[in-house]
Amino acid sequence: MCYANAVSLTWSCRLSVAEYAALGRRAPAPRQNCPRCARPMAFDGCYRRCVREAGTVHPIFVHRARCGPCGRSEALLPHFVCRRRHDSVSSIGAAVLARHGVDLDTGASGLYRGVPRRTLRSWYQRFAEHAEDLWVRLEALTIEWGGTLPFPPRYPASPSKAAIQAMGELWRAARHRWGMDIPAAWPLANLVFASGLLATRVDLPWPIRRSHIGWFAPP
Ligand SMILES: [Zn+2]
């Protein structure tokens, strides 16, 4: 349920952005083991940030966890948060999918309502820059999870389209392996990339264990 990178741990959150925000400081977070030494980490306060979705800016509290022996403190990010981005991963995903001509549910464009054009352009650009890395890693993980890739291989019109297809293949592999109770495709991809789907560097924590995928159920 939780993925680590150098600065944060990302966990699968059943709550929507609005539901999480409504809980304020009482919003849940899973207790974690340190990604370096595997010892249990202690909660270490929280900080405030905002997540925009569907034209609403939600102030949220992000908990932190600290490992005493390593002396490191990490943010515990719910998987709808994209690092260094103001908008939720679902908002970003809806915009990028629409950009690439993917048919979306009615109302999906409302997820990125009010997002400035320059912000949209920055999403498209960053996604395109890393699309090939995303594509390769997502396909590798699909195989790791027992999924299948199309054969003969498809040759998408662009690396961005290939990455989008690979997200779908990963989601189908996860669903086949763990059942329907998994995050949607873009949140799942953001989860496995530790909230770094649009980060400056694509990083896929490895190996990925089953416990990483299930939802965190707060006590
Ligand atoms: Zn540690």
Q: What is the mean pLDDT of residues 112-137?
A: 94
69 C-alpha to center of ligand 1: Å? Answer: 5
* Predicted confidence (pLDDT) at residue 214 exceeds the cutoff of 90: no
Cα–Cα distances (Å) from 163 to 105, 186, 200, in that order, read 20, 11, 16
Q: How far does the centroid of ligand 1 lie from the alpha carbon of residue 72, in Å?
A: 7
55 Cα distance to chain centroid: 20
Distance CA(26)–CA(20), nearest Å, equals 9
Percent of the chain with pLDDT over 90: 60
Integer Cα distance of 199 and 3 in angstroms: 15
Q: Compute the distance from residue 193 Cα to the ligand 1 centre, in Å.
A: 21
How do residues 157-197 score in pLDDT, each as one tens digit?
Answer: 889 999 999 999 999 999 998 887 889 999 999 998 889 88
The secondary element (H helix, E strand) that includes residue 64 is: strand 56-67
- Summarize pLDDT for 2-22 with one digit per residue, the tens: 455 545 789 999 999 999 999
Residue 3's pLDDT is 54
How much distance in Å is there from the Cα of 199 to the middle of ligand 1?
24
State the pLDDT confidence band at 33, using cuts at 50, 70 and 90.
confident
C-alpha to C-alpha distance for 128 and 131, rounded to whole angstroms: 5
Q: Is the pLDDT of residue 207 over 60?
A: no
To the nearest whole number, what is the mean pLDDT of the chain?
87
Say if residue 123's pLDDT is above 90. yes
How far apart are the CA of 8 and the centre of ligand 1, in A?
Answer: 13
Residue 81 DSSP code: B
pLDDT in tens, 136-150: 889 989 998 899 888
Which band of pLDDT confidence, cut at 50, 70 and 90, is reported for residue 219?
Answer: very low
Q: Which of 190, 216, 215 is nearest to 205 (CA)?
A: 190
Residue 87 binned pLDDT confidence (cut-offs 50, 70, 90): very high
Domain ranges of the chain: 2-212
Res. 133: pLDDT tops 80: yes
The Å distance, Cα 113 to ligand 1 centre, comes to 41
pLDDT of residue 1: 47
Give the pLDDT band (50/70/90) at residue 210: low
CA of 217 to the centre of ligand 1 (A): 24
The letter for the amino acid at 61 is F
**Tens-place pLDDT, residues 41-81:** 999 999 999 999 999 999 999 999 999 999 999 999 999 99
Q: In what order do the strands lie in the sheet with 8-11?
A: 2-4, 8-11, 72-78, 56-67, 42-53
Alpha carbon of 34 to ligand 1 centroid (Å): 5
